[in-house]
Structure 1
Amino acid sequence: MALTKKQRAELRMKFGGRCAYCGCELPEKGWHADHVEPVIRFGNQMTHPERDNVENQVPACHPCNLHKFSQSLADYRRVIDDGRREFLRSGKGKALVRMGLVEMKPDPIVFWFEKYQAKGASA
């Protein structure tokens, strides 16, 4: 679904003008409207067209949208956690942690929009 300029502006500000996943500031242009519940397009076809609506979209920076690809939130969370463990097993990762240049936390993966919504609920 093509968003109007107004819908796009509102979507960008949905989480304070930040990417729903990493929380980086989004520029006026150059960010993506990502489907939380995936919609996969191929040619003129689309899987789950019922999900192609503004309620199922969040603002995402280019890197996060490409990294999430067509995964569910649970799968994307798992991919990030797997990447964290792979990094820790690598020689470079171990060296950076040993040198104190990188801190690896066992914390659960929490996306920016979840923190933003929790903050709003507690305010």
Structure 2
Amino acid sequence: MEQTKQCITCEEIKPLEDFPIRPKRSDGREGECKTCRSTRRKTGDGYRKERLRKHFYRSKGKGSLTLEQLREVESGTHCTYCGCELSDDIRVVDHVYSLGQWWSSNSALNMVVSCRACNTSKSNSHVYDFYQRSDKFTPDLWGKFVRYFAGRALSHEPTEEEIVQWSEGFRLEAEELKARV
């Protein structure tokens, strides 16, 4: 005999396997079915709020990222690193400086939108090292990235001289990191 349960959202009676496991509940399952949970997370801010919580936890409380800032970062239509057009299934937010690096923070300044492939390929490496080894992260895209990043950090449109300085700063940071290892 198959066990069933009624979803608290859609009120349909479904097999118990259609509900996420929740050991602390009397029946060992969530009250909302997987389908309704997925729909709820994809619509509205449920998924973003969960990601904010996870980012906060991973950063050990460092940073001041808000829901509005996360929405703004995610609003990009093209990958920062390869320039591909982003759809909802491949759009992710990448920390320019990985949270494991001592100077990194969980803030909007430290985040850019990227595709899953670039996010995975970059991993925890420095953004300049990723630029150097990636075929898709072209000099044109690098210039756009530096302009965007510097503009947010400086709170004004950077001059060409400032862009050159920021680019050189990224290169020097990457070299310093390599020297420490």
For Structure 1 versus Structure 2, the TM-score category normalised by the shorter chain is: 0.5 to 0.7
Per-residue Cα deviation, 1:48-98 (whole angstroms, up to 9, x for no partner)? 3742211110001000000000111211122226xx9xxxxxxxxxxxxxx
1:63-74 aligned at under 5 Å gives the runs 63-74=117-128
What is the root-mean-square deviation of aligned Cα atoms in Å? 3.4
1:61 is matched with 115
Contact 1:32/1:59, CA 8 A, preserved across alignment = yes
1:1-123 aligned at under 5 Å gives the runs 2=52, 5-13=67-75, 16-40=76-100, 47-48=101-102, 50-80=104-134, 109-110=138-139, 112=141, 114-115=143-144, 117=147
Q: Using the aligned pairs only, state the percent identity.
A: 28
Cα distance change, pair 111–36 in 1 and its aligned pair in 2 (3 A): farther
The residue matched to 1:60 in structure 2 has which SS? strand
Per-residue Cα deviation, 1:22-73 (whole angstroms, up to 9, x for no partner)? 1111223542211112223xxxxxx437422111100010000000001112
The residue matched to 1:51 in structure 2 has which SS? coil
Q: With structure 1 as the length reference, what TM-score do the two structures score?
A: 0.53
Output the CA distance in 2 between the equivalents of 1:28 and 1:5: 18
The residue matched to 1:32 in structure 2 has which SS? strand
1:92 is matched with none
Gapped regions of structure 1 (runs ≥ 5): 41-46, 85-107
Deviation at 1:18, TM superposition (A): 1.0
Output the CA distance in 1 between the equivalents of 2:92 and 2:78: 11
Query: Which amino acid in the other structure matches residue 24 of structure 1?
Result: C
Query: Which amino acid in the other structure matches residue 7 of structure 1?
Result: Q
Output the CA distance in 1 between the equivalents of 2:106 and 2:85: 25
The residue matched to 2:83 in structure 1 has which SS? coil
Gapped regions of structure 2 (runs ≥ 5): 1-50, 53-64, 149-156, 159-181
Cα distance change, pair 19–55 in 1 and its aligned pair in 2 (3 A): same
Deviation at 1:7, TM superposition (A): 2.8
Report how many residues are paired. Answer: 88
Contact 2:98/2:104, CA 8 A, preserved across alignment = no
The residue matched to 2:112 in structure 1 has which SS? strand
